[in-house]
Amino acid sequence: MEQQKLPNATTSIILGSISFICCCFSAGIGGLILSGIAYFLANKDEKTYAEQPELYSNFGQIKTAKIIAIIGLVLAILTLAWSIYTIVAAGGWEGYMEQQKEVYKQMGIDIE
């Protein structure tokens, strides 16, 4: 019998990899969502493999995808925590926005 590929291996790797980039934007929320989906898909394929391991040939990709997803989750959580800390340390959303306006003013950019 010819071995098949697990259906979500490539998708999990791609989503996990993109989550690294998304951690840098949107306060980590995008990275959290994408890496969470990647982790879910990798777990799903891991369970599929555990039921009938002789049918599938790319279990190594699933292990890789799971590691990438976990790293993405950790980075996203750290980024989100840092964003929340920054806002709280600035005195809430209003204080944070005032700080940002001051930074733009110092750079010579008029945002109003």
Q: Is residue 101 part of a domain?
A: yes
50 exposure class (CB count in 10 Å sphere: 0-12, 13-18, 19+): exposed
The three-point CA angle 4-62-27 to 5° equals 140
Q: Is residue 81 part of a domain?
A: yes
pLDDT tens profile 67-105:
999 999 999 999 999 999 999 999 999 999 999 999 999
Q: Is residue 44 part of a domain?
A: yes
The total number of structural domains that make up the chain: 1
Cβ atoms of 16 and 62 within 8 Å: the answer is no
Q: Is residue 1 part of a domain?
A: no
pLDDT tens profile 38-77:
999 999 999 999 999 999 999 999 999 999 999 999 999 9
Q: Is residue 111 part of a domain?
A: no
Of 52, 59, 54, nearest in space to 7 by CA:
59
In this prediction the pTM is: 0.86
Count the Cβ atoms, other than its own, within 10 Å of residue 14.
14
For residue 31, the enclosing domain spans 9-106
Position 26 pLDDT exceeds 90 = no
SS3 109: coil
Q: Is residue 98 part of a domain?
A: yes
